Amino acid sequence: MRHCNLRNALIFCVPASILLCGCQMPQKQDAPFQPVHAESYEADILLEYGEDQTANLHLTRCGDALWDANFTEPPALAGVTLTFDGDAVSASYKGLAFTVPKTALPAKNMLGIVTEALDAADAAESLPCTQQSDGTWCYQGECAGGSYTMTFAESGEPLIFDLPAQPLKLTFSGFAVITQEAAESTITQTTVSSAETASETVTTSTNA
């Protein structure tokens, strides 16, 4: 009888000890993580905001605090380009452009919040992030709009920016670093195109 009681006690205690050990297993703690550091990069963005509102855009980081956001969807926004340059934001649409101070924009300017967070991540040597089971890294930050979560791939590029208080969520895809050679090539092509356009205008005026 004593052996039976001992056996029953052991049968009870073994799973209990396993559960106890499982509860006491340390959770993953924040660890230094280094996001991609690149002066220039680009990515396609799915922007979700408000109540089931979405937009698609191509976001380009041209330098510190210098960004271009080119909207492709929905049709009402297609063709609109926003350029963030320091304390000013330029907007252009079908050749019409204007510049306004950043402080004159709505306080909850969605892209302004995101680009500032991305600039801060680029400037930091590392961020205290928590690694997830799928290998991604999550950073918890604070901004004017509230608490946000930024998720990075293992290789360092941004994947998701989530600001629940707005609500606002950006999903990144097609991330690519822009090399200096590619940037210079783009500037050269733009300059040549502008020169050709000016030349055509002068020729047309002369012929007239």
Taken in order of first residue, the domains within the chain and their CATH numbers are 31-181 (2.50.20.10)
CA 129 distance to own-chain centroid = 15
103 pLDDT more than 70: no
* CA distance linking residue 160 with residue 169, whole number of Å: 7
**C-alpha closest to that of 42 among 178, 183, 157:** 178
pTM (predicted TM-score): 0.72
Least confident of 3-17, 112-126, 191-205: 3-17
**C-alpha closest to that of 158 among 145, 180, 178, 176:** 176
Say if CB 59 and CB 42 are below 8 A apart: yes
Written as one letter, the residue type at 9 is: A
Confidence band, pLDDT 50/70/90 cuts, at residue 144: confident
Ramachandran angles phi, psi of 193, nearest 5°? -60, -40
